[in-house]
Amino acid sequence: MSRQRAPQLIEHVGEASIRIGRDCVNMLSFVGELSAGIMEAVKHPRKIRWKETLYYMDMCGSDALPIVMLICFLMGLILGFQAAVQMHKFGTDIFVADLVGLSIIKELGPLMVAMIATGRAGSAFAAEIGTMKVSEEIDAMETMGFVPCRFLIIPKVIAMLLAIPILTIFGDIAGIFGGFVVGSLKLEIPAIAYYNRTVVALTSANFLFGLIKSFVFAFLIAGVGCMRGFEARTDAQGVGRAATSAVVSAIFLVVVADALLTILFSMVGQ
Amino acid sequence: MNNLDKPVIEVKDLSIGYGSRVVMQNLNFSVKNGEIFIILGGSGCGKSTLLKHLIGLYPPFKGDILIHGESIVHAENGRKREIMRSFGVTYQGGALFGSLTVGENISLLLEEYTEMSKDEINKTVTEKLRLVNLDGFQDYMPAELSGGMKKRAGLARAMALNPRLLFFDEPSAGLDPISSAELDRLILNLRKEFGTTMVIVTHELDSIFSIADRVIMLDKEKKGITAEGDPRDLLNNSNNKWVKDFLSRLSLKRD
Ligand SMILES: Nc1ncnc2c1ncn2[C@@H]1O[C@H](COP(=O)(O)OP(=O)(O)OP(=O)(O)O)[C@@H](O)[C@H]1O
Ligand SMILES: [Mg+2]
């Protein structure tokens, strides 16, 4: 039994490594192709499919606004409550404004919006492209001489790059408002005091870094969603698996990117 | 004249398949200008696979495919896209773009590749839809069409740029006998009017005798061509029992 298991283990580890390695190579070549596509789009903006781009902006942006506002508001509220208990012990109630404001703007705003976008848009992109593959639409597109990247990926990536940062700004505002509610109702900080403290705490650099993060997240989510769609196997389960895998990979990539960016920002002194 | 005698498609020593699995090997055949060329064979023997390789979607394991004398296998990407654009393809399920209306599916090609004005484009779209008996369906979404209608809309799209070479994957499967006969008539008409060369994969034995100039029959076991020629000749003179059975089932049905 155990003699058999040992080689099996090695085999499994080997196979998994090969698979992960191949996945990384695929991802790199996809990023290359995507970058070339984006360069091409920037050079010839008239060739961008604006109709599709607007459609996806609507889908990833305006349709997601209510849920983003709600979740970010609740995040601000929760943070506020947790902080209020601790801060109150030291008589530093007013610093709840700093904690909530900075956490939301630098970290939780972009991250929460990215998670929502992953669940909504990332999986939808993968499923859409996967289904098109099953129904031979991608084949048709290629034989019609169209570059699938231009029709299917670029509009989605542009839409996400435009919509996600805007969503993040709305999320930031909702989150800060959540903290404000705790501050005024539980800690009874005067509204103007909370406001002033927040304005002092939040620098435009912090705000900018949050936005840069959300740009990067948007790119990752859209890119990996499309990539998983193209990799989908052409059977009924393939599409579902592509969507699941898009969500898992996107969450993973977003968190890794978040860690790297946070380290980077802290090195430049924020 | 020389140009006309040259084969439109030449397949040389072609081996195709998926991953490491060989589906067909050492295929050699050519399709002449203006010919209606039919690919026959049992279900799952590799007809669609062969067609997809012919139109350049997958790279073959071995061998070469020349379209108008130019290799589609070895062409670099940009050139390959140009070659692909020069012919029309209809797919087994229609493969219409689901996010566009039927009309937009057809006009997309005209907008991208021609200098036509809006009016001219609309006129062409109407005309192509009339050819396949779908007048008035411009503004329908593909999801609102039946399977057979999708297929016909796909055919209209394939004909949008008036290609001289058309590929069909099972054009008449799922059509009622009347539409199917109409489709055959349309195919013959296209050839008569424009001299279009057509490569057709079909199961529909009825169509074969009425439209085919030449057929090849693929065999799953042999992974190659078992018979090639005029279907009537094959029926009368072939000494392969399987080929005779395959073709005579139709004749029995007809008599
Ligand atoms: N994408 C794919 N990946 C791997 N194998 C495939 C793929 N598509 C088809 N095959 C296999 O290749 C063989 C030929 O399939 P193909 O679709 O070409 O058959 P076909 O002759 O068109 O059949 P039908 O008449 O039913 O459409 C089949 O055995 C099938 O299992
Ligand atoms: Mg088939």
B124-137 tens-digit pLDDT: 999 999 988 888 89
Mean pLDDT value of segment A50-76: 94
Average pLDDT rounded to a whole number, residues A84-97: 90
Q: By CA distance, what is A146's nearest residue in B?
A: B81
B221-235 in b/e form (b: 16+ CB < 10 A) is: eebbbbbebebeebb
Residue B67 contacts residue B83 (beta carbons within 8 Å): yes
Strands B62-67 vs B224-229: parallel, antiparallel or unpaired? unpaired
A107 and A219: one domain? yes
Same domain, A122 and A137: yes
pLDDT band at B255 (very low <50, low <70, confident <90, very high): very low
Q: Tell how far the Cα of B31 is from the centroid of ligand 1, in angstroms.
A: 23
If asked whether residues A22 and A58 sit together in one domain, one would say no
What is the pLDDT, as a whole number, of residue A270?
Answer: 59
Quick: pLDDT tens for B144-195.
Answer: 988 888 888 999 999 999 899 999 998 887 778 888 888 888 889 888 888 8
Question: With bands split at pLDDT 50, 70 and 90, how would you rate the model's confidence at B88?
Answer: very high
Residue with tokens 């409550």: A81
Residues A227 and A259 in one domain: yes
Amino acid in position A45: P
* Closest among B3, B54, B53, B8 to B30, alpha carbons compared: B8
Mutation target to probe the B interface, by most B beta carbons within 10 A, among A131, A143, A235 is A143
Residues A138 and A169 in one domain: yes
pLDDT digits (tens, 9 = 90+) for A211-267: 999 999 999 999 999 999 999 988 878 999 999 999 999 999 999 999 999 999 998
Is the ipTM above a cut-off of 0.90?
no
For chain B, say whether A234 makes contact (Cβ under 8 Å).
Answer: no
User: Which range of residues forms the domain containing residue A62?
Assistant: 49-269
The CA distance from A53 to the nearest CA of chain B, in Å, is 13
**Contact of B113 with B85, CB cutoff 8 Å:** yes
The answer, yes or no, to whether residue B244 has pLDDT greater than 60, is yes
Asked if pLDDT for residue B3 goes beyond 80, the answer is: no
Q: Are strands B197-201 and B36-41 parallel, antiparallel or unpaired?
A: parallel
Cα of B230 vs its chain's centroid, Å: 18
Nearest Cα to Cα of residue A129 among B101, B97, B55:
B97
Which of A31, A47, A63 represents a domain boundary (last residue)? Answer: A47
Residues A90 and A112 in one domain: yes
d(CA B186, CA A86): 81
Number of domains in chain A: 2
The predicted pLDDT at position B1 comes to 41
Is A144 at the interface with chain B, CB within 8 A? yes
> With a threshold of 0.95, does the pTM exceed it?
no
- Same structural domain for residues A198 and A128? yes
Report DSSP letters for chain B, one per residue.
Answer: -HHHHS-SEEEEEEEEEETTEEEEEEEEEEE-TT-EEEEEE-TTSSHHHHHHHHTTSS--SEEEEEETTEESSSS-HHHHHHHHHTSEEE-TT----TTS-HHHHHHHHHHHH----HHHHHHHHHHHHHHTT-TT-TT--GGGS-HHHHHHHHHHHHTTT--SEEEEESSSTTS-HHHHHHHHHHHHHHHHHH--EEEEE---HHHHHHH-SEEEEEETTTTEEEEEE-HHHHHHH---HHHHHHHHHHHHHH-
Do A123 and A249 share a domain, yes or no?
yes
User: For chain A, what percentages of helix, strand and coil (3-state, to nearest 5) are there?
Assistant: 90, 0, 10
Same-domain status, A42 and A53: no
Confidence of residue B254 (pLDDT cuts 50, 70, 90): very low
Reading the block at residue B143, the tokens are: 């999801």
Query: Within this chain, do residues A39 and A93 fall inside the same structural domain, yes or no?
Result: no
Burial of B188 (0-12, 13-18, 19+ CB in 10 A): middle
DSSP string, A132-145: HHHTTHHHHHHHTT
Test mutation, B65, B99, B159, chain A, max A CBs within 10 A:
B99
Indicate whether A251 and A190 sit together in one domain: yes
> Would you say A253 and A264 are in contact if contact means Cβ atoms under 8 Å apart?
no
pLDDT at A5: 64
Say yes or no: A148 and A201 in one domain: yes
